[in-house]
Amino acid sequence: MKRLPILALSAVLLAAWPVRSEAAANKEHLQMMADIRMLQEQTQQLQLALGGLTETLKAITAKLDAQADLNRKGFADQKLLVDNVADGVRVLREKLDDSNVRLSSLTQEVDALRQSIPPPAPVPVPPVDQTLANPGAPAGAAATPPAGAPTEPAAAVPPATPPSVLAGTTPQRLYDEAYGDYTAGRFGLAVTGFETYIKTFPRSELADDAQLNIGAALQLEGKYQDAVTAFDKVIVNYPGSNSVPQALYKRGACYEALQQPDRAKQSYQLVIKNFPDSDASFLAKQALERLNKQD
C-alpha cells in the first residue's frame, strides 16, 4: 500500500519533466533572440556612427585640400614676388654698374682735361706814366726814374705749354693707343705715345708701365744703350712699383747685348736679392747661371 503513492508521484514527475525542459528551451531561445536584436541595434548604431565619421572625415579632407590649394597659391605668389624683386635688383645692379663705368670714364676725362690745360700766364704790369708821377716834367719827355728808385721788372715770359691731348681722351685710351703700337711692332710710335702719356699724366698708375714699355721698345729696336737709360728711369723714378724687377732683368739683358757681362751680372743679382719671389728673379737666375758657365 505504501508503494502506490510513491509510484504515483514518480509518474507525475516523469509526466511533468518534458514540460519543464520545453519551457527552459523556450526561455533560452527568447533570450538569444533578444541578444541578437540588441546586437543588431548596436550594429546599426555603429554603422550610423561610422557614416557620420566618414562624412566628417570627407569634410575635413575637403578643407585640408582647400587649405593646401591656398598654401600652394600663396607660395606661388610669394615665389613670383621674390622673382620680380630679384629681377628688379638685377636691373638696378646693372644700371649701377653702368653708372659707375660712366662715372669712371667722366672722371678720367676730367683729369685728362685738367692736366692738359696749361697754367694761366702772368699778367704783365703796365709801366707807370711818369708825367703823372712827376707833374713838373715836360710832356713827351722820356720817363727817367729818379735815382735810387726801383726799376720796373720785365714782363714775365709765359711758361712753355705742357703737352696736351685731344679733348675727351682719357689716360687709359692714350695708354692703350701707345700699347697697340707696341704690340703691332711700331716701336717708334709706341715710344712717342708712352712718352706723351708720362708727360701728360705723370702721376698715373700706369706711368711706371709706360716707362718700362719705352725701354722694352728700344730694346726690341736694338737701341740697347737707350733702353738701359729708360730702364734706369723705371728704377729711379718708380722705386716701389711692380715694374722694377722687370726693369732690372731687362737692363741686364741689354748689358749682355752691349758685351758688358759684369754689369749684366750686377743687374741680375739685384733682381735675385731684392725680388726673390718674382718671375724676373727666376729668369735672372737662369741668365746668371749661363753667364757664369761662360767664364
Q: Look at residues 114, 138, 159 and tell me which one is the last residue of a structural domain.
A: 114
| Higher pLDDT pick, 28 / 121 | 28
Residue found by looking up cell 711692380 in the block:
242
Please give the pLDDT value at position 119: 54
Q: Provide the pLDDT confidence category of residue 155 given band limits of 50, 70 and 90.
A: very low
User: In the Cβ-directed half-sphere of 210, how many Cα atoms lie within 13 Å?
Assistant: 28
Q: Are residues 212 and 287 in the same domain?
A: yes
For residues 112-121, give the mean pLDDT: 55
Residue 104's domain comprises 77-114
Counting Cβ atoms within 10 Å, is residue 223 exposed (0-12), middle (13-18) or buried (19+)?
middle
Q: Is the pLDDT of residue 83 over 90?
A: no
Average pLDDT estimate for 76-89? 87
Q: Please say whether the beta carbons of 143 and 127 come within 8 A.
A: yes
* Residue type, position 76, single letter: A
- Distance CA(244)–CA(231), nearest Å, equals 8
Number of domains in the chain: 2
Domain-located, residue 91: yes
DSSP summary character for residue 147 = T
Q: What is the pLDDT of residue 139?
A: 45
Name the average pLDDT for the chain: 80
- pLDDT band for 130, please (50, 70, 90 cuts): very low
Largest Cα separation within the chain, whole Å, is 212
Residue 196 has pLDDT above 90, yes or no: yes
One domain for residues 178 and 256: yes
What distances in angstroms separate CA 166 from CA 117, 176, 193, one per listed residue?
11, 15, 13
SS3 207: helix
- Helix-, strand-, coil-residue percentages of the chain, each rounded to 5: 75, 0, 25
Lowest mean pLDDT, pick from 31-35, 142-146, 264-268: 142-146
Q: How far apart are CA 69 and CA 75, in angstroms?
A: 10
Distance, CA of 242 to CA of 278 (rounded, Å): 9
Q: What is the pLDDT of residue 18?
A: 59
* Angstrom distance (rounded) from CA 230 to CA 194: 12
Which of 114, 135, 163 delimits the end of a domain? 114
Burial class (CB in 10 A: 0-12, 13-18, 19+), 62: exposed
Q: Which residue has the higher pLDDT, 16 or 178?
A: 178
State which of 2-16, 146-160, 171-185 shows the largest mean pLDDT.
171-185
Contact 196, 174 (CB under 8 A): yes
Band of pLDDT at residue 199, cut at 50, 70 and 90: very high
Q: Do 178 and 283 reside in the same domain of the chain?
A: yes
CATH number where 266 lies: 1.25.40.10
Distance in angstroms (rounded) separating the CA atoms of residues 213 and 181: 11
Query: Of 114, 135, 159, which marks where a domain is finished?
Result: 114
Would the pTM count as exceeding 0.75?
no
Q: Looking at the domain assignment, is residue 249 inside a domain? A: yes
User: What's the confidence (pLDDT) of residue 8?
Assistant: 65
Residue carrying the nine cell digits 610669394: 78
